[in-house]
């Protein structure tokens, strides 16, 4: 059985939710924060990041979008990374969320990697929060375009990753109340049994 490596507070929550939604035969292993930099885990993923999915044959798949794609192909039904309209749009949404939105949180989580002086770090963070607010506005418009319930009009892995991104809002000056559909989406996700299962497995709590 493959093992999914997770850590509290991270984007590994998205594939963890996907495993719960699919009832996929995947073991979820939650590490304590900091264990991702220890030798035991670096042998699995030298990048020192989560998530990582280790297969029984020793092969390892990293990056949340790639793991979600595999989960959909291996264990999903229509709408999960298959060659359907929603499958194609799901791949597009996940690419945007992981490569653009998530990436723009980097100055928030590690401003010291962008600037040394405290004043410069504050300036970097301020610019990042502007970009994050813009992303939330865009994602609000996509959610609205598709009826306001699910990001693509039907539940998909994009909703799992969107939930991660909206959880992070509370750590920033960006007010999720400015995007009410995203706030409602987060609340809806927290009422989902699969989401609650994933949160518990990852030693996390609902934020609502």
Of 120, 121, 93, nearest in space to 108 by CA:
121
If asked whether residues 101 and 162 sit together in one domain, one would say yes
If asked whether residues 58 and 95 sit together in one domain, one would say no
- Residues 87 and 74 sit within 8 Å (Cβ to Cβ): no
Token readout for 95 is: 């690419």
If asked whether residues 90 and 183 sit together in one domain, one would say yes
Burial class (CB in 10 A: 0-12, 13-18, 19+), 185: buried
Tally of domains in the chain? 2
If asked whether residues 89 and 179 sit together in one domain, one would say yes
* Residue that terminates a domain, selected from 77, 97, 127: 77
The string of pLDDT tens digits covering residues 47-75 is: 999 999 999 999 999 999 999 999 998 98
If asked whether residues 97 and 135 sit together in one domain, one would say yes
The string of pLDDT tens digits covering residues 14-23 is: 999 999 999 9
pLDDT at residue 78 greater than cutoff 60:
no
If asked whether residues 71 and 94 sit together in one domain, one would say no
Q: Which domain holds residue 31?
A: 3-77
* Residue that terminates a domain, selected from 36, 61, 77: 77
Phi-psi region of 63 (alpha: psi -120 to 50; beta: other; left: phi over 0): left
Tell me if 153 is assigned to some domain: yes
Tell me if 208 is assigned to some domain: no
* Cα angle, residue 183 at apex, residues 132 and 70 outer, rounded to 5°: 70
Tell me if 205 is assigned to some domain: no
Burial class (CB in 10 A: 0-12, 13-18, 19+), 29: middle
If asked whether residues 57 and 144 sit together in one domain, one would say no
The string of pLDDT tens digits covering residues 127-178 is: 999 999 999 999 999 999 999 999 999 999 999 999 999 999 999 999 999 9
* pLDDT, mean over the chain: 92
Tell me if 197 is assigned to some domain: no
- Residues 38 and 14 sit within 8 Å (Cβ to Cβ): no
């Amino acid at each position: 059985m493959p093992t999914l490596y997770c850590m509290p507070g991270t984007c590994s929550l998205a594939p963890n939710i996907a495993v719960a939604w699919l009832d996929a035969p995947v073991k979820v292993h939650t590490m304590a924060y900091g264990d991702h930099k220890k030798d035991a885990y670096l042998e699995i993923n030298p990048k020192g990041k989560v998530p990582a999915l280790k297969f029984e044959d020793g092969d390892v798949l990293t990056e949340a979008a790639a793991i979600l794609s595999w989960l959909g192909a291996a264990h999903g039904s229509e709408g999960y990374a298959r060659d359907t309209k929603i499958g194609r749009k799901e791949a597009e949404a996940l690419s945007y969320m992981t490569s653009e939105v998530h990436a723009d949180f980097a100055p928030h989580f590690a401003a010291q990697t962008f600037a040394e002086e405290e004043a410069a770090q504050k300036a970097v963070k301020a610019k990042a929060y502007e970009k994050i607010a813009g992303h939330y506005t865009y994602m609000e418009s996509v959610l609205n375009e598709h009826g306001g319930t699910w990001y693509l009009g039907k539940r998909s892995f994009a909703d799992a990753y969107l939930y991660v991104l909206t959880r992070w809002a509370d750590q920033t000056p960006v007010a999720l109340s400015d995007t009410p559909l995203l706030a409602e989406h987060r609340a809806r996700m927290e009422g989902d049994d699969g989401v609650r299962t994933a949160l518990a497995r990852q030693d996390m709590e609902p934020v609502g």
